[in-house]
Amino acid sequence: MKDFEKYIKDNQRKLDLDTINPKVWQSIEAGINGKKGKVFFLRKSIIGLTAAILVGVFCYQWFGNDQKESFPPHLLEDYGFKDSNVNDLLDTKINVIRKASIPVAYKNDLEMLLGQVANLDQHFAGKIKQLKLANSETELNREVLEYYKTKSEILDKVIDEIQKINSNEEEYQIRSEKTGIQL
């Protein structure tokens, strides 16, 4: 090792970051305790998920239709659904989640996400009566499709999180106690 390398190596502590954002510990602490407002590796998903749910809920304030058969095919394509049977698509994703398992230590994190999925469904069900009073069928269909799109995105995020959690286990060759997922 030449002098220049040795000099860098000998002084490497002087190259360390000397400050650390206090929010890092706050986020870790919140993540460990499962407190509201925690920011950790799920945070981006949670923020995205919350935003998606809000969009979905907002769209359902005034519209409604519980008949998937009435969706015009071009609208389905506009929203990225190649398969006209949207419920089957969602059921497939739900089945993937129901068949999966995760380490017990991560159960609470995932339940928070799943709880938001349930809230969206609940809200949708509660709005059905209002939706049936809407006058514009085209707009009604569009908003219903937005619901399915939101739900589909949320389920994808849940599946991604499950895969991420389990890939950590595999990577570090950890054999934690596993639990199933209720959805």
| Contact footprint for other proteins (CB under 8 A) | 2-5, 7-9, 11-12, 14-18, 20-21, 23-25, 27-29, 31-33, 39-41, 103, 105-106, 168, 171-172, 174-176
Q: How far is the CB of 177 from other proteins (least distance, A)?
A: 10
The angle, 0 to 180 degrees and rounded to 10, between the axes of the packed helices 43-59 and 137-171 is 170
Q: How far is the CB of 134 from other proteins (least distance, A)?
A: 43
Q: How far is the CB of 28 from other proteins (least distance, A)?
A: 5
* CB closer to other proteins out of 29 and 137: 29
Determine the Cα–Cα distance for residues 66 and 172; give it in Å rounded to an integer.
46
Q: How far is the CB of 176 from other proteins (least distance, A)?
A: 6
3-state class (DSSP) for residue 122? helix
* CB closer to other proteins out of 4 and 36: 4
**Helices then strands, each counted (H, E), the chain:** 7, 2
What value does the CA radius of gyration of the chain take, rounded to a whole number of Å? 23
* CB closer to other proteins out of 35 and 132: 35
**173's torsion region: left (phi>0), alpha (psi -120 to 50) or beta?**
left
